[in-house]
Amino acid sequence: MKYLIFLHLIIYQVSASIVYEKNVWGGSYWPLFKGGLSYSQIGFKTLSELFENKDLLNKISPIQKWDIIQGDLKFSLTRRERKKQVPLFYYWWGYCDGLSVAALFESHPKSKRFKTLLGDIFLSEEEIKGLMAYFYTNTYEVAQMWGSREKNITANEFHHLLLHINRYQNLIITYKPHSIDNYPISKIEMIEYKRDHFKVSIYMPARKSSKHFKKTYFYKLDENNQYRWTRKSPKFIWIPKKIKIIHSQLSTK
């Protein structure tokens, strides 16, 4: 009997279908307990310090670099960002939502060099991702959401979403039960591994590498004709709507 069940599962896995696929990228969410976009190993540097030592220009934080690129030598954004620091137990506070939205709307960024009054400034790929995350955090609205912060997505909602997935272009998932940690979805695979029992794999880009990882969810149709989770569920899935174009110097379109 064990062998028959195993063979049955293999047959269904071969016939698994990709119901959603999109090219997205990942990156750091720039946690606020570390200083967010104002974080650097050498800390904040004053204008006089930067004038005295130009070698520091490419060691300061991404947001301080951006202020200089924009000609803001009062470091308005940097000072605002430095005020956002939160305690360590809010480790998940950061720019994961903005990062996810940027990954859906922008091509994979490349490093850039900018000429400024203080000299050339280099923004790495990760720094540009961080700045995109920062700006996209305030330039979208939630167009649609399944589940919420207070109540997880139901298996009925999840199945309905998959049935009508061709309507949607940009999906973001929050899967952790006790923190808000958003990821753009790169691929969804669905298998009915036995009658009315479903296995769904959701793929997301990793934070610190170019690889993708997956979370797998199981649900079934019960005797009351309702879908219900048989194991853990995602927290919610949502669609962002961009309402403002990101700064042209950062945009990859």
Q: With contact defined as beta carbons under 8 Å apart, do 222 and 228 qualify?
A: yes
Q: Give the list of residues 6+ apart from residue 178 with CB closer than 8 angstroms, or none.
A: none
The mean per-residue pLDDT over the stretch 144-156 comes to 94
> What is the reported pLDDT for 87?
87
Per-residue pLDDT band for 198 (boundaries 50, 70, 90) equals very high
pLDDT at 15 exceeding the cut of 70:
no
State pLDDT tens for residues 103-115.
999 999 999 999 9
> What is the reported pLDDT for 4?
36
Domain ranges across the chain? 2-26+141-242, 32-140
Q: How far apart are CA 123 and CA 91, in angstroms?
A: 25
The DSSP letter of residue 14 is: H
The mean per-residue pLDDT over the stretch 157-168 comes to 94
- What is the average pLDDT score of the chain? 90
What is the sign, positive or negative, of the torsion defined by CA atoms of 242, 189, 174, 228?
A: positive
Which residues sit opposite 201 in a β-bridge? 189, 216
The mean per-residue pLDDT over the stretch 25-32 comes to 95
Residues of the chain above pLDDT 70, percent = 93
State pLDDT tens for residues 52-111.
998 999 999 999 999 999 999 999 999 999 999 888 888 889 999 999 999 999 999 999
Q: Give the list of residues 6+ apart from residue 4 with CB closer than 8 angstroms, or none.
A: none
pLDDT at 221 exceeding the cut of 60:
yes
pLDDT at 11 exceeding the cut of 50:
no
Q: How far apart are CA 123 and CA 51, in angstroms?
A: 19
The mean per-residue pLDDT over the stretch 203-216 comes to 92
Q: Give the list of residues 6+ apart from residue 198 with CB closer than 8 angstroms, or none.
A: 159, 190, 191, 192, 218, 219, 220
Indicate the range of 59-73, 175-189, 235-249 predicted with least confidence: 235-249
DSSP 22-53: ----------GGGTGGG--TT----HHHHHH-
Per-residue pLDDT band for 12 (boundaries 50, 70, 90) equals very low
